Amino acid sequence: MATVNAPSSNAIQTSSGKYGSALAVVTTLFFMWGFLTCLNDILVPHLKPIFDLNYAQVMLIQFAFFSAYFFFSIPAGKVIDWIGYKRTMVVGLVTMGVGALLFIPAASAPSFPLFLTALMVLATGITGLQVAANPYVVVLGSPRTASSRLNLTQAFNSLGTTIAPYFGSLFILSGAALTLDEVRRLPPDALQAYRMNEAASVKMPYLGIGLALFALATLIGSVKLPPMSTAEHHGAETGVRTSIWKYRHLVLGAVAIFVYVGAEVSIGSFLVNYITQPTIGGLTAKAAAQLVSFYWGGAMVGRFIGSAILRKVRTGIVLGIAAIFACALVITSMLTAGHVAMITILLVGFFNSVMFPSIFTLGIAELGPLTGDASGLLNTAIVGGAIIPVLEGALADRIGLHHAFILPALCYLYILFYALKGSKPDVPSNA
């Protein structure tokens, strides 16, 4: 298998002066895909009454988005093999721009299937971006501080997820939308006019987003980024295995990514319903939605703090401690009520913060020229964000939402196992 952008082993070290500018440029990518991913939370309540959708139907928004990781992550790893990391980032941004512009004909129709198509194209670009940018940040400097760098860039990803709901509320949910019952009482002509008017509110925001993505693609394409070296990794010279599936710590890491994203999205998706329950917060939906920003904001703060801690403490230890606290907080929320249950579940976001970058760094450790393909596998596992929330929803229908959080708690227990045992690379052997 061809090495991915593999110059001499000291290629990046000789360009140490470029680390700051290169990291700053790549960090903008993390912000953009976090921002666009979290905008889905605004599209769900916006499109539901427009197209008279039930909850199962409107959740196709998340399925369309997260399924892109399943279908396109491993192909994106192959694209990296063909054209390199920097060009893959550019292709990802251009694809995202096309997806954003597709919202305009989807709103003009208006057509829910076209919205789903636009989301799929947008998420395909984000998938390529993640597969390229995550491992690039990991090797852009000393291996000892790789988790610290990735946590820092992921903090700006969380900044995007924190800002997006406010942006969406200003520019997409600014109109006085009708309730579902009111929509159903409209005569056909008025219904079509209402749908076109409400759907049109996404045109200008996504047009601006599309243009910004094309501009960012031009910027990334024009700047000189240090080449990614893979020759310095163990296994690139001797004993490398020809298949990523032969690396136990990578495969177990993919499972860890699956359950982590699933747990994080599950909790975030059901927070409003959870907090509005009389036994928990008894708040209105609007007030509960405002508190959700603390969940995502906690992840942002945690990643800035985690970036500093990971310069001094081993990644596996930090990940294990975060998993213990996250699991304990979820169980505490399940076993209590009122403000205690509400605050403890919101605090989980803080301990989620270091999980993705830490699991990712541990998963691609010592993979050398297979790093690009390994990144593709790990990003494929993000599909857990589509599957586990559905399972938790089915569980909530049977035992109640309060106790359905046992599923994320089990996810955090697996992450603890991975941090302590499953993340340790085994000795390479010829295959």
| Banded model confidence at residue 184, pLDDT cuts 50, 70, 90 | confident
**Residue 391 belongs to domain spanning:** 232-431
Same domain, 24 and 118: yes
| Region for 282 from its dihedrals, namely left if φ exceeds 0, alpha if ψ lies in -120 to 50, beta otherwise | left
Q: How far apart are CA 366 and CA 362, in angstroms?
A: 9
Tokens standing for residue 343: 């605050």
Same domain, 76 and 223: yes
Same domain, 258 and 394: yes
Same domain, 251 and 370: yes
Higher pLDDT, 268 or 419: 419
- The whole-chain average pLDDT of the chain stands at 83
| Banded model confidence at residue 91, pLDDT cuts 50, 70, 90 | very high
Last residue of one domain, picked from the residues 229, 247, 277: 229
Among 20-24, 233-237, 246-250, 382-386, the minimum mean pLDDT is found in 233-237
Same domain, 78 and 219: yes
Residue 302's alpha-carbon distances to 129, 136, 161, 263, 306, in angstroms, are: 23, 22, 14, 17, 6
Question: Domain for residue 424, yes or no?
Answer: yes
Contact (CB, 8 A) for 103 and 202: yes
What is the model's pLDDT at position 232? 37
Same domain, 25 and 101: yes
Q: Residue 187: is its pLDDT beyond 70?
A: yes
| Banded model confidence at residue 9, pLDDT cuts 50, 70, 90 | very low
What is the model's pLDDT at position 58? 75
Residue 354's alpha-carbon distances to 78, 113, 150, 350, 416, in angstroms, are: 27, 36, 9, 8, 13
Same domain, 276 and 408: yes
Question: Domain for residue 305, yes or no?
Answer: yes
Higher pLDDT, 411 or 152: 411
What is the model's pLDDT at position 185? 79
What is the model's pLDDT at position 275? 87
Average pLDDT of the segment spanning 179-194: 76
| Banded model confidence at residue 230, pLDDT cuts 50, 70, 90 | very low
Average pLDDT of the segment spanning 239-260: 87
Average pLDDT of the segment spanning 388-392: 83
143 φ, ψ to 5°?
Answer: -60, -30
What is the model's pLDDT at position 55? 65
Q: How far apart are CA 119 and CA 331, in angstroms?
A: 34
Q: For 44-62, how does the pLDDT look when each residue is reduced to its tens digit (9 = 90+)?
A: 777 877 888 876 677 788 8
The 8 Å CB, 24+ separation contacts for 108-115 are 108/196, 108/199, 108/200, 108/203, 109/199, 110/50, 110/51, 110/195, 110/196, 110/199, 112/47, 112/51, 112/53, 115/43, 115/47, 115/61
Task: For residue 390, give the CATH number of its domain.
Answer: 1.20.1250.20
Question: Domain for residue 11, yes or no?
Answer: no
Q: Residue 151: is its pLDDT beyond 90?
A: no
Contact (CB, 8 A) for 116 and 64: yes
Q: Residue 374: is its pLDDT beyond 90?
A: no
Of the candidates 381, 334, 295, 404, the one whose C-alpha atom is nearest the C-alpha of residue 69 is 381
Among 67-76, 95-104, 226-235, 310-319, the minimum mean pLDDT is found in 226-235
Last residue of one domain, picked from the residues 186, 209, 229: 229
Same domain, 361 and 381: yes
Q: Residue 234: is its pLDDT beyond 60?
A: no
Question: Domain for residue 419, yes or no?
Answer: yes
Higher pLDDT, 190 or 124: 124
What is the model's pLDDT at position 285? 62
Q: How far apart are CA 191 and CA 178, in angstroms?
A: 11
Last residue of one domain, picked from the residues 210, 229, 248: 229
Same domain, 204 and 321: no
Q: Residue 14: is its pLDDT beyond 90?
A: no
Residue 415's alpha-carbon distances to 254, 300, 317, 407, in angstroms, are: 11, 20, 12, 13
Among 53-57, 250-254, 299-303, the minimum mean pLDDT is found in 53-57
What is the model's pLDDT at position 175? 58
Same domain, 124 and 146: yes
Q: Which residues, at least 6 apart from 285, have a Cβ–Cβ distance to it below 8 Å?
A: 272, 276
Total tally of structural domains belonging to the chain: 2
Residues 1-38 as b or e (16 or more Cβ within 10 Å = b): eebbbbeeeebbeebeeeeeebbebbbbbbbbbbbbbb
% pLDDT > 70, the chain:
88
Q: How much of the chain is helix, strand and coil, in % rounded to 5?
A: 80, 0, 20
What is the model's pLDDT at position 56? 67
Question: Domain for residue 4, yes or no?
Answer: no
Question: Domain for residue 219, yes or no?
Answer: yes
Question: Domain for residue 109, yes or no?
Answer: yes
Question: Domain for residue 8, yes or no?
Answer: no
Same domain, 236 and 220: no
Same domain, 198 and 246: no
